[in-house]
Amino acid sequence: MIKLLDNSLECINCKIKNKQIILAIQSVKEKLCCPYCGCPSARVHSTYEREIQDIPFQDKQTILLLTTRKMFCDNPECTFKTFSQRFDFVVPKEKKQVGLWKNIDYIYKIEFCQCVIFIENRIC
């Protein structure tokens, strides 16, 4: 399931707690490319954990605890000395997985359409 988000991810821990499924995940990539200059780097500055909400599974809230690396950029011509690891399935600094935003948008549109139809039927 985690590989569907990003092929380089692995699940390192899984807990079911009350009405939550909590998955601790991390990337297995050794080198990351600087998003500013494209230079590859294997030098880790630090790591931190991001809490990402994912689509519910079996009526349980799904939380991804994503270990994210901050890396040094070794390119002397790059204006940035460090950069954070990026993932396609989550927008930087967001707390919801991209698929969850699409799901919320889809549900909103359905609910909005149903509301409009209801109002039209009441008026006509």
Residue with tokens 């994210």: 68
Q: In this predicted structure, what is the pLDDT of residue 101?
A: 42
- In three-state secondary structure terms, 99 is helix
pLDDT of residue 113 exceeding 70, the answer is no
Residue 57: the pLDDT is 77
How far is C-alpha 16 from the chain's CA centre?
20
What global pTM score does this model have? 0.68
Q: Supply the pLDDT for residue 96.
A: 52
Percent of the chain with pLDDT over 70: 73
- Using CA atoms, how far residue 45 sits from 3, 54, 90, in Å, is 26, 27, 21
Strands 9-17 and 20-27: antiparallel
Half-sphere exposure of 55 (CA within 13 A, CB side): 14
- Calculate the average pLDDT of the chain: 79
Q: How high is the pLDDT of residue 121? A: 54
Averaged pLDDT, 71-97:
84
Average pLDDT over residues 48-71: 88
